[in-house]
Structure 1
Amino acid sequence: MLKQFFIICSGADTDILEACSKGEQNKYAGIGATVFFTALMATLAASYALYTVFNNAFSAIFFGIVWGLLIFNLDRYIVSTIKKTGHFVDEVIQASPRILLAIIIAIVISKPLELKIFEKEINQVLLEEKNQLTLNNKAQIAEQYNPSIDALKKNITKLEQEIDSKETEVNELYNTYIAEAEGTAGTKRVGKGPVYKEKRDKHDALLAELQLLKKEHKEKIKTAELNIAQLQKNYQTQVDSTQPIINNFDGLMARVNALNKLPWLPSLFIFLLFLAIETSPILAKLLAPKGAYDLRLEDQEDMIKTNVTQNKKQRALMLQTDSNINDRIYTDIENDDALYKHKHQTTKELMQLQANAFLKNQTKVL
């Protein structure tokens, strides 16, 4: 039962193959098994590839089965249409387009399986790429907000420096009038004299300015800090909203590109394996000697071809003969005087009837 199924998969004519030896049947059963398992591998490969695209198991399996059936039909067609002519060069020329198609199919089948086999390595490459994309994304977004944030920070620094400068000036005046009171500087007279009062008033006036300056700058600094906080919040919001796009950067094309960044030798061996599997039925038919099945098939095709050629030639001869007979018949009729006189009389009577009818119609009109 299984052998019969594989023979059907090979595309061979089962009626002809039944009359052949067991060895010939086993050869085509092996070819059919290769075709079947190649289609099975294509189904698995396509299902995985489509799962990475749709992220839905049912859709991936359904379209994977459709793809597997398509590959099965193509392989079966390729193998069944190679005819053994007995001339190796002619057979190679005949099979060259099919071999090219088999190479394309092998590439299509092997690539998704490579993605699955090297999944862990591909995930590592994708992780590094995602991390780099995250850093690049943050840097690009930061370029939109950093100039405004830096300007606000510089403004805050400037305001704080003005306060510090004013505080330094106030502290210097404070030390001056204290030294005057203690007699360690200025007039060097101990006590609170006119000079002390003058310096104290100047300090108090500057202290009042400092307090007013602190109040005004504090409000400005607070406003600037709120603006900085809002800009930083907007920056983080934009980073958070774009991060899912980077996290989902693991589709089919991204994985193929990541696979290309891995060492090429393992991928080459996997491709060669599937290429060997895909082309093995074709090579088997090319390298195998002309067997009983090929002879019987050629005999059947020659029989049909001969029969069609004979029928076509017979129909042409019958047509030519019939035409010659008709020509002779009509030539004899043309030379018959009795037929001529009869047709002459009939035509004359018909023309008289037409003339009478025309006269009658004209009389009615008048």
Structure 2
Amino acid sequence: MLKQFFWMCSGADTDILKNSSKAEQTKFAGIGGTVFFTAVMAFIATSYALYTVFDSYVTAIIFGLVWGLLIFNLDRFIVSTIKKQDNKWKEVLQATPRIILAVIIAIVISKPLEMKIFEKEVNQVLLTQKNDLTLANKNQIANQFSPEITAYQTEIEQLKQEIITKEDETNALYNTYISEAEGTAGTKLLGKGPVYKEKREKHDAALAELQQLKTDNKLKISEKESQILALTNQQKEQVITTQPIIDGFDGLMARINALNELPWLPSFFIFLLFLAIETSPIFSKLIAPKGEYDFKIQDIENAVKTWVSQKEQQRSNVLNTDIILNEKIYNDLSEEEELYNYKKQKAREILQFQADAFYKSQKNTVG
């Protein structure tokens, strides 16, 4: 039962194989087994690849099964269409498109399995890439908010500097009127005279302005610090919102790119393994000499070809005979007087009918 199943997988005629030698049966069972297990590997590889995309076992298994059946059908078609010929170069030329197709299938099958085999290494590369993306994302978001935050901070520094400048001015006025009272500057008269009073009034006015400036600038600074805090919270919120996108950066394309970051030699050997598996049925049929099965198939094809050639020859002879007979019959009919008179009468009737129709048309036109 299992042997017949593998025969079916090889695309061979099971009725012919049943009457063939054990060696032929074993050869085609091996070819069919290779085709079957290649399809199984394609199913596993595709299911894993699609699971990384959809995160669903059911979806991955369904589409993986469809893909496995497709690969099975393609491999079976490739193997079954390669036929043994007397000329090896013709066989190679015949198999070249099928070998190219087998290489493409091997690439498609091997790549997801490589990702699974090197999953830990791929995850490490993805982690590094995610960290880089996280830092880049924070810098990009910071660049969006930095100009506004910097502008507010500059304005706060300016407001603080106004207070400091006013304090220095007020302190200078204080020192001036104190020096005037002590007689160490100004009029250099000891005591609180008119000049002292004038300078004291200037200081008191400056002090009042300083207090008012401190009150006004404090409110302005508080508002701008609130705006800076709001922008900072908005920046943090945007970082938190975009982080899940970076955390989800482990899809199929990301894993393929991460796999390409690893050393190429191990992946190349895995690809060669699947390429050998995929092309082994083709090369086994090319290398192997003609066997009993091939001769039987050739005999059947030759029999059909002969039968078709006979049918074509028979149809050609029937056609030629019919042409000769028709030519002779019409030649004989052309010499019969009765047929001549009958056709002459019908021709006269047609001409009369045409003349009457033309007369009526002209009459209607003239009016």
Shorter-chain TM-score range? 0.7 to 0.9
Q: 1:348 to 1:294 in 2, by over 3 A?
A: closer
CA contact (8 A) 2:9 2:35 kept: yes
Residue 25 of structure 1 is matched in structure 2 by: 25
TM-score normalised by length of structure 1: 0.87
Q: Within 1, Cα distance between the matches of 2:282 and 2:242?
A: 51
Q: Within 1, Cα distance between the matches of 2:91 and 2:156?
A: 86
Residue 305 of structure 1 is matched in structure 2 by: 305
Q: Within 2, Cα distance between the matches of 1:350 and 1:174?
A: 144
Residue 114 of structure 1 is matched in structure 2 by: 114
Report deviation, 1:353. 8.9
Q: 1:276 to 1:356 in 2, by over 3 A?
A: closer
Q: Within 1, Cα distance between the matches of 2:201 and 2:47?
A: 90
Matched, 1:343 2:324: no
Residue 363 of structure 2 is matched in structure 1 by: none
What percentage of residue pairs aligned between the two structures are identical? 60
Residue 73 of structure 2 is matched in structure 1 by: 73
Q: Within 2, Cα distance between the matches of 1:355 and 1:96?
A: 70
Matches within 5 A, 1:124-139: 124-139=124-139
Matched, 1:225 2:221: no
Which structure 1 segments of 5+ residues have no match? none
Q: Deviations over 1:148-198 (max 9, x none)?
A: 2111111111211222233344455556767888x69669x9x97448766
SS at match of 1:300: helix
SS at match of 1:85: coil
Residue 40 of structure 1 is matched in structure 2 by: 40
Report deviation, 1:317. 1.1
Greater shift after overlay, 344-353 or 104-113? 344-353
Report deviation, 1:300. 0.9
SS at match of 2:83: coil
SS at match of 1:86: coil
Q: Within 1, Cα distance between the matches of 2:25 and 2:12?
A: 10
SS at match of 1:23: helix
Matches within 5 A, 1:246-261: 246-261=246-261
Report deviation, 1:135. 1.7
Q: Deviations over 1:189-213 (max 9, x none)?
A: 9x97448766655543332222111
Greater shift after overlay, 220-229 or 70-79? 220-229
Q: 1:76 to 1:153 in 2, by over 3 A?
A: same
Residue 165 of structure 2 is matched in structure 1 by: 165
Matched, 1:204 2:199: no
Residue 277 of structure 1 is matched in structure 2 by: 277
For residue 38 of structure 1, what is the amino acid of its counterpart?
Answer: T
Greater shift after overlay, 58-67 or 319-328? 319-328
Q: Within 1, Cα distance between the matches of 2:334 and 2:348?
A: 25
Q: Within 1, Cα distance between the matches of 2:78 and 2:111?
A: 22
CA contact (8 A) 2:334 2:340 kept: no
Aligned pair count?
356
Q: Within 2, Cα distance between the matches of 1:167 and 1:136?
A: 44
Q: Within 2, Cα distance between the matches of 1:139 and 1:169?
A: 43
Q: Within 1, Cα distance between the matches of 2:293 and 2:150?
A: 86
Q: Within 2, Cα distance between the matches of 1:257 and 1:112?
A: 12
Greater shift after overlay, 301-310 or 84-93? 84-93
Residue 97 of structure 1 is matched in structure 2 by: 97
Q: Within 1, Cα distance between the matches of 2:333 and 2:101?
A: 66
Q: Deviations over 1:243-277 (max 9, x none)?
A: 23222222211111111111101110110010000
Q: Within 2, Cα distance between the matches of 1:87 and 1:247?
A: 59
Q: 1:151 to 1:19 in 2, by over 3 A?
A: same
Q: Deviations over 1:116-142 (max 9, x none)?
A: 111221122122212212222222222
Which structure 2 segments of 5+ residues have no match? 360-367
Greater shift after overlay, 150-159 or 326-335? 326-335
Report deviation, 1:333. 3.4
Residue 3 of structure 2 is matched in structure 1 by: 3
SS at match of 1:289: coil
CA contact (8 A) 2:183 2:191 kept: no
Report deviation, 1:45. 1.0
Residue 362 of structure 2 is matched in structure 1 by: none
Residue 55 of structure 1 is matched in structure 2 by: 55
Report deviation, 1:54. 2.1
Report deviation, 1:295. 0.8
Q: 1:344 to 1:280 in 2, by over 3 A?
A: closer
Q: Within 2, Cα distance between the matches of 1:110 and 1:104?
A: 10
Q: 1:276 to 1:352 in 2, by over 3 A?
A: closer
SS at match of 2:84: coil
Report deviation, 1:354. 9.1
Matched, 1:85 2:81: no
